[in-house]
Amino acid sequence: MLIFTPIVVFAQQVDDDHALVIMVNIERIRAQLLLADQSLTAGDSEMAFAHAFIPHTTTFPSIKSQLKEIDEKSATQLEALLTDLPVNIRSADQPVDTLRQDIAQIESLLDGISAKLGPLASDKAMTSQNVVFLLKDAVQSYKLSDGGSGRVNYENSMGLVNVAEIKYKTIAHSLAASRSAEINSFFTGLKSSIEQKAESDSVKRFTDAIERDLAEDLSLSAGSESAGVNAKYFSNIRTLLTNVMTEVKSGNYKQAEQHAITAYVDNFEYLETPIEKYDPELKGTLEIDMRENLRGMINDEKPSQAIEEYVNGILGKLEKAEELLANDTSFSQPSPPAGFADIKGLAAGFGTYTGERKDIGQADDPAKAAVRNGIDEIRIKLDETLRLYKEGKAEGALLTSRSAYLDSYENVEIPLRPIDPDFTLDMEIKFAELRNLMQYGAPFAQVEAKVIEIRRGLDESERLVSGTGIVAPTIAFSTSFSIIFREGLESALIVGAILTYLEASRNERFKKHVYYGIVIAFAATAVTWFVAQFIISISGASRALIEAIAGVSAVAVLFWVSFWILNKVETKRWIEFVKAKVWKATTTGSVTVFVMLSFFTVYREGFETVLFYQAIISFAEYMEWYVVAGLVAGLAVISGITFAVRKLGRKLPLRVLFGLTMGVGAYMSIAFIGNAVREFQEVGYIQTTHLIDTVPRLDINTAAMTGIHPTLETIVAQLVLLCVYLVGSLYVLFIQPRRNRAIESARKSRADLAKKEAKDVQ
């Protein structure tokens, strides 16, 4: 029985294409590590971060699953190190030597994983392909740098060339000396072109030349755009050498050199093999003449006459070579050299994140569901992290927090990054900061504060991926409409009743003072809004705590107002209430009383409105315009009702309206209490007992507008408040009226009995 090691088993299972994808991406990572190390040495932490961030966000994810098939343990370690490296660079908490040690550890892991590819890792053809793909990356990065102005891409191009050259040198000994020398000269010219920030076409000429020289070692077949008929190349060379002389005579030596390079790199290179077949010495002479001597004369700006004589000598040798190839079949037939196939999957690991940008909510439904599930798992793991750390089990807490990121949040990042890459980076940094705090033995309070930040970020992550949808904005609009309608209606009815009573009692002289009070109340309400915003901004309290306090305050006011309204449901009692207020004001005859009466009538509702809108705005993120639309619609309806009552003499079904507003108030109270309890849980003031598999998991926006969250504490709070409303409503609407009727009936019976007794006495 044969027993294979894991290395051999994988090497047998993987095909060349998949192996090449892994090899190229490993070298891409290595290039960025090299650049990050150079930036750290130069003291440029920003560029070090930029280069260290690319492997984590772009390159490693493209081969993560494949690496785990090779060596899951090493792949997991590699992922963790690549995740932490950019964050540690950005935080500047670690010395440069420590960061460089981390880079060395990553490179060691890369070497170990490469070794497990078996013979493929050192195969000459595979290495040649690896080199060429890295050079293609370099050209693409150079083009993206826009002539070197984009610093990250510019440095990427040079880094990729350097890594490609290092990789090439591992097989250089197996090439013919002349070919090896030629490739070395091309690498020199390539780096020189990048350093001088030459045109991208000049850079590409050198990479194409290296590809052609390595073509005989390639194992994949693909056409090369530069292939053609030998006769065409001879013609091109003559034309280009003529152009060389024209530019030299004009004193434009730089352009002359470009023509000389094109003549050699893009044309003579294709003729080398067929010429060598008939006359190796002639091929070698022409190669030296065109590649080195002619360019050397141009660079030294030799006199035009000397250069012309040298060019004529080259042309004579070309005629001899052309005669040798006159009867060669390749002279008149296309001869495509070997090339590279477009390996599927290689593009995924290239460069910085340049994927499609998306708007909020532009993710498919499965991705949204996966994000919700992932965030639920992260919340549970964060709670477990805090528990373990509080118990002194720092190692277990660290492993749990790492799992929260690597096993869960990385899946959230996939749909999140195209929507907001900057926020995605911010969350990655927060997770890394949490791990660093625990590694350094920070106090529990600091670790807990960082977890609270991450929890807030999880909500934002879900909002960005899920979008607002339809249900949540509808609830936001209707809730906003209900708030302003409820508060505005009450004010309008009281003020309307005041004005009507003044007209009926012929005290119209006081009406303008009522209007003064209304205007002052509106101004005071606006001031209250801005004062509330200012106090919140300078309070220093966390946003979650502020939202929790605002929610509880709103619940308390809604609860009191709802039952106050219930006690005024009977139309007769409501009218009596208003008349009592107005009669008291008219008896004093003081205009101040009317101003204050209308002011407090409107401002009380305005103050409540500010409180309620502060609460709803805090929960309706990305739905603010729906809240504004509800406010405007509510004001419009109230204006219409006021006009109908005042001008058209319409009567309102007060019992129905007050019952409806009480129901709306109860709904808002229950939603606010659910959100308030959750915010207290977020800041650690209330314990969290997850009911993820028991309570329906709504998307974050719908949950915020209904207050329904999958935790025991929020559900219990909502159920208790609902029961209080039901019992209170039952008492106020049914039990209390029945009792009052019974008392009134008893009093009437006693009165009737007393009358009868008095009559009998008479």
Q: Are 410 and 83 in contact (CB under 8 A)?
A: no
The rounded percent of the chain whose pLDDT value lies above 90 is 11
- Distance separating alpha carbons of residues 166 and 301, to the nearest angstrom: 33
- Distance separating alpha carbons of residues 193 and 501, to the nearest angstrom: 92
pLDDT at 555: 75
Please determine, for residue 314, whether its predicted confidence score (pLDDT) is greater than 80. Answer: yes
CB count in 10 Å sphere of residue 658: 24
Please determine, for residue 386, whether its predicted confidence score (pLDDT) is greater than 70. Answer: yes
pLDDT band for 755, please (50, 70, 90 cuts).
low
pLDDT band for 443, please (50, 70, 90 cuts).
very high
pLDDT at 655: 63
From 33, 83, 49, 97, select the one nearest 436 (Cα to Cα): 83
Please determine, for residue 50, whether its predicted confidence score (pLDDT) is greater than 50. Answer: yes
pLDDT single digits (tens) 135-145 = 988 888 888 88
610-625 burial, b at 16+ Cβ within 10 Å, e below that, comes to: bbbbbbbbbbbbbbee
Residue recorded with tokens 């290179």: 269
pLDDT, average across residues 125-143:
88
Lowest mean pLDDT among 151-165, 181-195, 659-673: 659-673
pLDDT at 454: 92
Please determine, for residue 469, whether its predicted confidence score (pLDDT) is greater than 90. Answer: no
pLDDT at 404: 87
pLDDT single digits (tens) 316-358 = 888 888 878 776 654 443 333 444 444 445 555 555 555 567 8
pLDDT at 10: 36
Q: What is the DSSP letter of 15?
A: -
Please determine, for residue 2, whether its predicted confidence score (pLDDT) is greater than 50. Answer: no
Which tokens go with 104?
């060395």
pLDDT single digits (tens) 202-217 = 888 888 888 877 875 4
- Distance separating alpha carbons of residues 457 and 431, to the nearest angstrom: 10
pLDDT at 646: 67
pLDDT, average across residues 211-239:
60
pLDDT, average across residues 496-500:
76
pLDDT, average across residues 517-544:
78
pLDDT band for 632, please (50, 70, 90 cuts).
very high
How far are the Cα atoms of 90, 402, 485, 667 from residue 629, in angstroms, in the given order? 43, 43, 13, 20
Report the 3 state secondary structure along 368-386: HHHHHHHHHHHHHHHHHHH
Please determine, for residue 659, whether its predicted confidence score (pLDDT) is greater than 70. Answer: no
Please determine, for residue 12, whether its predicted confidence score (pLDDT) is greater than 60. Answer: no
Q: Are 98 and 420 in contact (CB under 8 A)?
A: no
Please determine, for residue 238, whether its predicted confidence score (pLDDT) is greater than 50. Answer: yes
- Average pLDDT of the chain? 79
pLDDT single digits (tens) 105-120 = 999 999 988 888 877 7
**Residue of higher predicted confidence among 207 and 550:** 207
Write the single-letter amino acid at 608.
E
The rounded percent of the chain whose pLDDT value lies above 70 is 82
Which residues sit opposite 711 in a β-bridge?
A: 690
**Residue of higher predicted confidence among 316 and 741:** 316
From 726, 724, 666, 677, select the one nearest 703 (Cα to Cα): 677
Which H/E stretch holds residue 50? helix 45-54
pLDDT band for 597, please (50, 70, 90 cuts).
confident
Which H/E stretch holds residue 198? none
Please determine, for residue 374, whether its predicted confidence score (pLDDT) is greater than 80. Answer: yes
Lowest mean pLDDT among 175-184, 570-579, 698-707: 570-579
Reduce the DSSP state of residue 693 to 3 states and report it: coil
pLDDT at 341: 43
Highest mean pLDDT among 15-29, 227-241, 375-389, 594-608: 375-389
pLDDT band for 527, please (50, 70, 90 cuts).
very high
pLDDT at 716: 92
Kindly report the backbone phi and psi dihedral angles of residue 339, in degrees, each rounded to the nearest multiple of 5, phi listed first. -150, -160
Please determine, for residue 226, whether its predicted confidence score (pLDDT) is greater than 50. Answer: no
- Distance separating alpha carbons of residues 38 and 48, to the nearest angstrom: 8
Residue 235's contacts (CB-CB under 8 Å, 6 or more residues apart) are none
Q: How many helices (H) and strands (E) does the chain have?
A: 30, 0
pLDDT, average across residues 453-458:
90
pLDDT single digits (tens) 398-421 = 889 888 887 788 788 888 888 888
Reduce the DSSP state of residue 285 to 3 states and report it: helix
Reduce the DSSP state of residue 690 to 3 states and report it: strand
Highest mean pLDDT among 163-167, 263-267, 401-405: 163-167
pLDDT at 334: 38
pLDDT band for 94, please (50, 70, 90 cuts).
confident
Q: Are 591 and 510 in contact (CB under 8 A)?
A: yes
pLDDT at 388: 93
pLDDT at 106: 92
The full DSSP string for 288-338 is HIIIIIHHHHHHTT--HHHHHHHHHHHHHHHHHHHHHTTT-GGGTS--PPP
Reduce the DSSP state of residue 240 to 3 states and report it: helix
pLDDT at 5: 29
pLDDT at 3: 28
pLDDT single digits (tens) 673-708 = 888 888 888 888 888 888 887 888 888 888 888 888
